[in-house]
């Protein structure tokens, strides 16, 4: 006990605007936000994504315009995801390491336009490139094979680094991939390319709109439970995070976000490494849908949730609300 009534009245410091500002424990700024962007083929193309209201796929020129917008808004990083054309998807996802794929075109164009004013984060996983929608290579039974997949992910990560990616973010959940990617980056002279690993990524029901956005949803048969984590497990998440740090991750991610705040908090207590949350597509869509049916004010719902990630211990948040939130935060 630190006090008793009426010596202590906790409402005193809450009673005015200035006092609430003075005592606010958590700050959210536009520099905490990472903006995920979907890239598609063509020029001057914008394709709205029905299940993600307010979010579109853009051709490379449009993605560059969004990147310039990010810089203006004080958003430090954009995360890129490609919607690969159907005829470029294959069983082995070989398009992932084509030096002229959509991702690489977008990376080069953004780095040329924005330079060091903006970080480019790229997703390392095969699902936008495979004809079966899984994140890795599959055997005859449809099982995603680990070590063979890691070898391809290494090629993919190197391909992105060579195009100019600043942060590679393996989202595939294969064992040992962070170590393999770190070694390859070092050997390739990419000493300053960061790895933000999707360390604790759950087999979640909240990824649906994302799979629509990258065009893998209709292709995916079965689920991803043999590599993504069981939502029932927390101790295992600590082991995943510990491994990825030991293997050479500069920062780690917990995904999805709000349903896993306990994991973020536990990781914050256990490890001295920057932790990021991915507020995923389904979470974003639920806020938009809730606001649309009158649950509450969209901006207020959005800000309360983003703030929760910072309070739980996050260094930053990947969120489709990044530009809207940044605009509000910048006044």
User: Which residues of the shown chain bind ligand PBG in the complex (CB under 6 A)?
Assistant: 123, 125, 127, 135, 171-172, 207, 210-211, 224, 280-281
Closest CA to 106 of 188, 153, 165, 46: 165
Nearest-5° Cα angle at 11, 10 to 12: 90
Could you tell me the two tokens for 233? 């497990």
- 54 vs 68, beta carbon nearer ligand PBG: 54
- 113 vs 324, beta carbon nearer ligand PBG: 324
Residues 282 and 256: beta-carbon distance below 8 Å: yes
Least distance to ligand PBG, CB of residue 174, Å? 11
Least distance to ligand PBG, CB of residue 198, Å? 7
Active site residue 201: yes
3-class secondary structure, 96 = helix
Least distance to ligand PBG, CB of residue 42, Å? 23
What's the CA gap between 302 and 119, in Å, rounded? 24
Least distance to ligand PBG, CB of residue 9, Å? 44
What's the CA gap between 125 and 6, in Å, rounded? 58
End-to-end CA distance of the chain: 39
Candidate list 111, 224, 255, 310, residue with the active-site label? 255
Give the HSE-up count for residue 206: Cα atoms under 13 Å, Cβ half-sphere: 20
- 91 vs 223, beta carbon nearer ligand PBG: 223
Least distance to ligand PBG, CB of residue 180, Å? 17
**What is the per-residue DSSP string for 233-290?**
-SHHHHHHHHHHHHHT-SEEEEESSGGGHHHHHHHHHH--S-EEEE--HHHHHHHHHH
- 169 vs 245, beta carbon nearer ligand PBG: 169
Least distance to ligand PBG, CB of residue 79, Å? 9
Under 8 Å CB-to-CB from 91, ≥6 apart: which residues?
Answer: 130, 131, 132, 137, 138
Spell out a b/e string for 95-113, using b for 16 or more CB atoms within 10 Å of the CB, else e.
Answer: bbbeeebbbbbbbbbbbeb
Q: What is the dihedral of CA 327, 254, 93, 282, to 10 degrees?
A: -60
- 32 vs 283, beta carbon nearer ligand PBG: 283
Candidate list 111, 201, 305, 310, residue with the active-site label? 201
- Where in the sequence numbering do the catalytic residues fall? 201, 255
């Amino acid at each position: 006990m630190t006090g008793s009534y009426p010596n202590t009245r906790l409402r005193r410091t809450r009673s005015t605007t200035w006092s609430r500002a003075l005592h606010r424990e958590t700050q959210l700024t536009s520099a905490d936000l990472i903006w995920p962007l979907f890239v598609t083929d063509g020029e001057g193309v914008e394709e709205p994504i029905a299940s993600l209201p307010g979010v579109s796929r853009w051709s490379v020129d449009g993605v560059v315009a969004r990147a310039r917008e990010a810089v203006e808004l004080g958003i430090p990083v954009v995360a890129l995801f490609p919607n690969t054309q159907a005829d470029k998807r294959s069983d082995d996802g070989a398009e992932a390491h084509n030096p002229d794929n959509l991702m690489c075109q977008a990376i080069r164009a953004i780095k040329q336009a924005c330079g060091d004013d903006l970080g480019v984060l790229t997703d390392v996983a095969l699902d936008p490139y495979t004809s079966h929608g899984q994140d890795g290579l599959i055997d005859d039974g449809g099982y995603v094979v680990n070590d063979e997949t890691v070898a391809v992910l290494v090629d993919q990560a190197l391909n992105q680094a060579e195009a100019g990616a600043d942060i590679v973010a393996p989202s595939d959940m294969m064992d040992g991939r962070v170590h393999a990617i770190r070694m390859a980056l070092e050997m390739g002279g990419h000493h300053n390319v960061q790895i933000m690993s999707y360390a604790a990524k759950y087999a979640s029901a909240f990824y649906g709109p994302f799979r629509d956005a990258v065009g893998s949803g209709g292709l995916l048969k079965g689920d991803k439970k043999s590599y993504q984590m069981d939502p029932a497990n927390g101790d295992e998440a600590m082991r995943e995070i510990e491994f990825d740090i030991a293997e050479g991750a500069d920062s780690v991610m917990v995904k999805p976000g709000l349903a896993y705040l306990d994991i973020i908090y536990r990781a914050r207590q256990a490890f001295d490494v920057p932790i990021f949350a991915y507020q995923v597509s389904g979470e974003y869509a639920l806020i938009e849908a809730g606001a649309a049916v009158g649950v509450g004010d969209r901006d207020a719902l959005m800000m309360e949730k983003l703030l929760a990630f910072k309070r739980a211990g996050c260094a930053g948040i990947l969120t489709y609300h990044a530009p809207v939130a940044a605009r509000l935060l910048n006044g």
